Amino acid sequence: MPRDQAYFVQSDQGRGRGVLVLHSLWGLTSSVKSRCDQLADEGYTVLAPDINFGELPESQQEGLDRLGAASPDRLANLVLSSARLLNEQSTAGPIAIVGFGMGGSLGLWASVRLKDLVKGVVSYYGTQQIDFAGSESTYLIHYASQDEFISDDEAAFMEATMGLEGLGVDVQRYPDTEHGFCEPDGESFDPEACERAWARTLQFLRVALAD
């Protein structure tokens, strides 16, 4: 049976500034929706598109296989259209993006493609080897200390590329953690590190989306 194609929530007070949540290869799970609810409790209007297109993998390898087979154009179009829709449904002003894994990488990419729309990006263990020229975002990057998917050179290259553009970048690394440390759906979940990262995320959003 097809699953929800997106999860949309806003605070009891109505529209707030927009936050786009982009999930990891695990899909639009209940834990992702719980994160969206927490953001709504902070006053934000939140949209989490299902970038797995209705599928929940049963294992990390299955998720990786599906990601490898996904159409890059389809993923890109979904992220861009979701960002624009959220901007229409939230209060006036740019939005922020919070992404996990592949969602973090897509969020970093979208900040350049939608430079007038995206004001801040939080990336949990995501990277992009792109030119960040023209971006008007600030960035909070959460890295695991051990990550089989991101090399030290790859992370350093992205940080250097951002630095060349004079962008505001806060890089946080969490000792004794692995890729996926902030996702209860995977085997690498580290509750303590995730709690610290999430507190930093909320603080970042308060500043990035301040009027």
CB distance 101 to 124 below 8 Å: yes
Split at pLDDT 50, 70, 90, the class of 38 is: very high
CB distance 48 to 19 below 8 Å: no
Q: What is the pLDDT of residue 81?
A: 95
Residue type, 192: E
Task: Name the nearest CA neighbour of 86 among 136, 39, 140.
Answer: 39
Sheet holding 18-22, edge to edge: 6-9, 45-49, 18-22, 95-100, 118-124, 138-146, 169-178
Mean pLDDT (the chain, rounded): 91
**Residue 189, SS3?**
coil
pLDDT at 52 over 50: yes
Tell which phi-psi region holds residue 112, choosing left (phi > 0), alpha (psi between -120 and 50) or beta. alpha
Q: Rounded to an integer, what distance in angstroms lies between the CA atom of residue 128 and that of residue 125?
A: 11
CB count, 10 Å around CB of 204? 20
pLDDT, tens digit, 9 for 90 and up, residues 185-209: 888 999 999 999 999 999 999 999 9
> In degrees rounded to 5, what are phi and psi of residue 123?
-115, 120
Split at pLDDT 50, 70, 90, the class of 2 is: very low
Sketch out the chain's domains with CATH numbers: 6-208 (3.40.50.1820)
Report residue 54 as tokens: 């209705």
CB count, 10 Å around CB of 80? 16
CA dihedral 95, 101, 106, 110 (to 10 degrees): 30
- List beta partners, residue 49: 6
Q: What is the pLDDT of residue 56?
A: 74
CB distance 86 to 18 below 8 Å: yes
